[in-house]
Amino acid sequence: MVTGLINANPIVYERKARQVRSAPTNIDEYADEPIDQQEIFDHIRDIKDPEHPYSLEELKVVTEDSIEVNDKQSYVRVTFTPTVEHCSMATVIGLCLRVKLMRSLPSRYKVDVRIAPGTHATEAAVNKQLNDKERVAAALENPNLSEMVNECLAPTFA
């Protein structure tokens, strides 16, 4: 059992001001607006870190640049950076990102979530687990884990 915090003193960064979306040039309000980096970032920036009262944005676990999106191909990849190399919360953070995107994006979307290369001791193992949908489905049926994920996601639905 972990007694202390894994990263007791994380660096907290300032949150970026919310960007006001540029006024649409297209007057037709029913026209499809492609999903972009900023929209994806808005979905995930307020996810709470599993062990700190800060958001993933404040801890720079995710940034706008860590998101690759191709709306035409319905594809998004989020690359996140754990605060410490041995962060045992990496899997939970990844799970939160995946679940949030699953719930927010149209079902046509394919989502990949991975750890930034070189930022975690067991990078390959965590990536494999996060992208195995059977493991993800089973994890979400685990009441403790599911509660933890929902707690972290709560601020994003505020």
Partner 1 sequence: MDILERNLELRERQRLEGHTDRVWSLAWNPAAGVSGIPAMLASCSGDKTVRIWQQDPSGSWDCLAVLEDTHTRTVRSCAWSPSGKLLATASFDAATAVWEHIGGDFECVATLEGHENEVKSVSWNASGSLLATCSRDKTVWIWEVQPGNEFECVSVLQGHTQDVKMVQWHPFLDVLVSVSYDNSVKIWAEDGDSDDWHCVQTLNEASSGHTSTVWAVSFSSNGDRMVTCSDDLTLKIWDTSSNPSETSDSNCGSWRHLCTISGYHDRTIFSVNWSREGVIASGAADDAIRLFLESKDNSVDAPSYKLLSKKEKAHDMDVNSVQWNPKEPGVLASASDDGTIKIWELLEVPR
Report H helices in the chain.
37-44, 90-104, 123-130, 133-140, 143-153
Can you say how many angstroms the Cα of residue 11 is from the centroid of all Cα atoms in its chain?
Answer: 18
134 binds partner 1 (CB under 8 A): yes
**In this chain, which of 21, 86, 103, 128 binds partner 1, going by CB under 8 A?**
128
> Which CB atom, from 79 or from 81, has the smaller least distance to partner 1?
79
For partner 1 (CB under 8 A), the number of binding residues is 12
**Segment holding 80, helix H or strand E:** strand 75-80
Residue 118 per-residue DSSP state:
T
What's the rounded Cα separation, in Å, for the pair 148 and 38? 26
**Segment holding 68, helix H or strand E:** strand 67-70
Task: Judge contact between 56 and 49, C-beta under 8 A.
Answer: yes
**In this chain, which of 85, 132, 147, 151 binds partner 1, going by CB under 8 A?**
132
Nearest approach in angstroms of CB 111 to partner 1 is 11
**Using CB under 8 A as the criterion, what x/- string covers residues 87-126 for binding partner 1?**
--------------------xx-x----------------
What is residue 127's three-state secondary structure? helix
138 binds partner 1 (CB under 8 A): yes
Nearest approach in angstroms of CB 117 to partner 1 is 17
32 binds partner 1 (CB under 8 A): no
- Chain residues binding partner 1 by CB under 8 A are 107-108, 110, 128, 131-135, 137-138, 141
